[in-house]
C-alpha cells in the first residue's frame, strides 16, 4: 500500500452533506445523484495529485487490458450497464485486498443493480493475473500500467509523488456521466454498500 494519508476526502450522497477534511480547515460539498454543486476552499498546500473529477462530468473514455489480457472499453458499456470504477493503489496489499474481496462478495448485488464493477491499479497485467488467481477474484482487474497512470490522471486520482492511484471510486451511469464519487485516504478502506446506495439512487 502507498504510505501516507491524503489531505482530502470527498463523499457522495450516502454520507453527511458537508464534511471538513482531516482538520485542514477546508470543506467541500459532495456530489452525487441530484446534482448538488461542490463548493468550498481549496486545501492549503500543494496536493500530489489533481482534484478528482466531479459528479455531472462526462466520464473520460479508456481502453485498458484486464488481468486476462482482454481489452475493456468504457464505451462498450454505454447504454448497457452502469459502471462502478474503483481505483486502488497496489495489488498484494492489505487494505486493497480487503476492498477487492468485499467487491467480489457483492458482485451478485451489483449485477442485480445493473452495474459492472471495474477495478483499476497501476500494476502490470502479469502482476494482476497472479493476484486475481491467488485471491479468487472474478471482477476485471484493469492495468493502468503504461502509459503509466494515464487513466488515473484523467480521473484526477494519480499520486505523482508515490506513482500510484489513490482510493477513488466513480459511479458512472449508462449515458457515460459520473453520478457519484468518493476519494478516501490511502489507509481508509471504502464501504461497498455506499456504491450500491448510489446505484439505487440513479
| Domains of the chain (ranges, CATH numbers) | 49-200 (3.40.30.10)
Question: What is the tens place of the pLDDT at every residue in 134-191?
Answer: 999 999 999 999 999 999 999 999 999 999 999 999 999 999 999 999 999 888 999 9
Q: How far is the C-alpha of 43 from the C-alpha of 58, rounded, in Å? A: 24
The residues that are catalytic are 96
pTM: predicted TM-score of the whole model, two decimal places: 0.78
Per-residue pLDDT band at 50 (split at 50, 70, 90): low
Q: Is 89 exposed, middle or buried (0-12, 13-18, 19+ CB in 10 A)?
A: buried
Amino acid at each position: 500500500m502507498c504510505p501516507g494519508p491524503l489531505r482530502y476526502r470527498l463523499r457522495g450522497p450516502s454520507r453527511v452533506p458537508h464534511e471538513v477534511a482531516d482538520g485542514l480547515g477546508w470543506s467541500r460539498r459532495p456530489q452525487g445523484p441530484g446534482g448538488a454543486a461542490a463548493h468550498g476552499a481549496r486545501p492549503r498546500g500543494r496536493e500530489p495529485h489533481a482534484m478528482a473529477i466531479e459528479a455531472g462530468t462526462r466520464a473520460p473514455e479508456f481502453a485498458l487490458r484486464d488481468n486476462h489480457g482482454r481489452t475493456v472499453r468504457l464505451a462498450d458499456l454505454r447504454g448497457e450497464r452502469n459502471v462502478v470504477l474503483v481505483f486502488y493503489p497496489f495489488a498484494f496489499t492489505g487494505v486493497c485486498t480487503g476492498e477487492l474481496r468485499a467487491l467480489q462478495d457483492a458482485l451478485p448485488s451489483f449485477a442485480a443493480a445493473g452495474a459492472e464493477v471495474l477495478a483499476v491499479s497501476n500494476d502490470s497485467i502479469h502482476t494482476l493475473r497472479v493476484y486475481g488467481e491467488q485471491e479468487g477474484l472474478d471482477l476485471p482487474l484493469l492495468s493502468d500500467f503504461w502509459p503509466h497512470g494515464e487513466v488515473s490522471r484523467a480521473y484526477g486520482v494519480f499520486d505523482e509523488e508515490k506513482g500510484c492511484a489513490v482510493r477513488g471510486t466513480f459511479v458512472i451511469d449508462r449515458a457515460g456521466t459520473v453520478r457519484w464519487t468518493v476519494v478516501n485516504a490511502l489507509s481508509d478502506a471504502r464501504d461497498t454498500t455506499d456504491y450500491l446506495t448510489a446505484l439505487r439512487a440513479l
